[in-house]
């Protein structure tokens, strides 16, 4: 089957614009994660869903960031009033179930966001 | 706080030479440990993981890693590097408990010279 897909792959936004980034996880995967990867850095956790429930949003950097997964499959990360510091690659990952630690996270190719 | 340190930003090795990428972690409990590889424009691919048991774990593409609790290290090794191994490598740590978000190191870029 297909892996995790993300769209768009590249997004250029003017400062102040709103953007929406989409993630299609592997079918049947319960857990979904968003990470932010700044240039030259490792990915940093943003938020976590188990099915449609957002169980951890401790990594969201500000209230301009909002994520949802209304039907427990596709997820959207929305950034309002984008700022230059939001420029990064946004990675989505999914894993099969919500058990502790042992489940491999499968990553999508990421969306590279550039805010001008 | 949890943290992962990869001391080497760049490493260059000759094709056929051996490789060791260093990873040190700070974690309050026994962690789960991972190595991922990222090629340009690609997502992260899991190379190997350690949860428990044998401290030497084997992964894909001929990679292995050794967990050393006393040194809080999880170094990645490969006996003979291929040109296709050129990529960025990330070490990550995750909790055993619920909600297994990962904490990543800053990565090591591997260059392979022929």
DSSP state of A42: -
Query: Which residue in A45, A100, A47, A55 sits closest to B97, CA to CA?
Result: A100
Rg over alpha carbons for chain A, rounded to the nearest Å, is 13
Q: Which of A35, A48, A109 sits opposite B99 (nearest CB)?
A: A48
Q: What is the pLDDT of residue B41?
A: 76
pLDDT in tens, B28-84: 777 889 999 999 878 899 999 998 888 999 999 999 999 999 999 999 999 999 999
pLDDT for position B82: 96
Total CB pairs under 8 A between chain A and B = 71
Is the four-CA dihedral B44, B50, B55, B56 of positive or negative sign? negative
User: Could you give the angle at the alpha carbon of A44 between the alpha carbons of A41 and A50, nearest 5°?
Assistant: 155
Q: What does the pLDDT read at residue B54?
A: 86
Which B residues, 2 through 41, put their C-beta within 8 Å of a C-beta on chain A? 4, 32, 36, 41
Which residues of chain B have a CB within 8 Å of the CB of A43?
44, 90, 102, 104
Range A39-54 average pLDDT: 94
pLDDT at A27 over 70: yes
Q: Can you give the pLDDT at residue B106?
A: 96
Separation CA B94–CA B51 (nearest Å)? 10
pLDDT in tens, A84-115: 999 999 999 998 876 655 578 899 999 999 99
CB of B43 less than 8 A from some CB of A = yes
Q: State the average pLDDT over residues A31-51.
A: 94
Q: How confident is the model at residue A2 (pLDDT cuts 50, 70, 90)?
A: confident
A105 in reach of chain B (CB within 8 A): yes
Distances (CA, A) of A85 to A37, A61, A81: 12, 10, 11
For A90, name the nearest residue in chain B, comparing CA atoms only.
B43
Q: If pLDDT is split at 50, 70 and 90, which confidence band does A1 have? A: low
């Amino acid at each position: 089957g297909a892996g995790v897909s993300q769209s768009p792959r590249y997004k250029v936004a003017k400062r102040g614009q709103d953007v929406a980034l989409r993630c299609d996880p592997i079918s049947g995967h319960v857990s979904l994660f968003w990470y932010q990867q700044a240039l030259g850095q490792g990915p940093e956790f943003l938020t976590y869903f188990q099915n449609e429930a957002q169980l951890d949003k401790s990594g969201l950097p500000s209230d301009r960031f909002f994520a949802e997964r209304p039907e427990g499959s596709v997820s959207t990360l929305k950034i309002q009033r984008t700022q230059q510091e939001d420029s990064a690659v946004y990675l989505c990952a999914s894993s099969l179930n919500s058990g502790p630690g042992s489940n491999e996270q499968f990553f999508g190719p990421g969306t590279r966001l550039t805010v001008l | 706080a949890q943290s992962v340190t990869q001391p080497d930003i760049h490493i260059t090795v000759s094709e056929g030479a051996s490789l060791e990428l260093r990873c040190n972690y700070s974690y309050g409990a026994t962690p789960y440990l991972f190595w991922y590889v990222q090629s340009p424009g690609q997502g992260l691919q899991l190379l190997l993981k350690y949860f428990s048991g044998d401290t030497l774990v084997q992964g894909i593409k001929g990679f292995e890693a050794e967990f050393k609790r006393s040194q809080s290290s999880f170094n990645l090794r490969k006996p003979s590097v291929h040109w296709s191994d050129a990529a960025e490598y990330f070490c990550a740590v995750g909790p055993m408990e619920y909600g297994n978000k990962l904490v990543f190191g800053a990565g090591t870029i591997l260059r392979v010279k022929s």
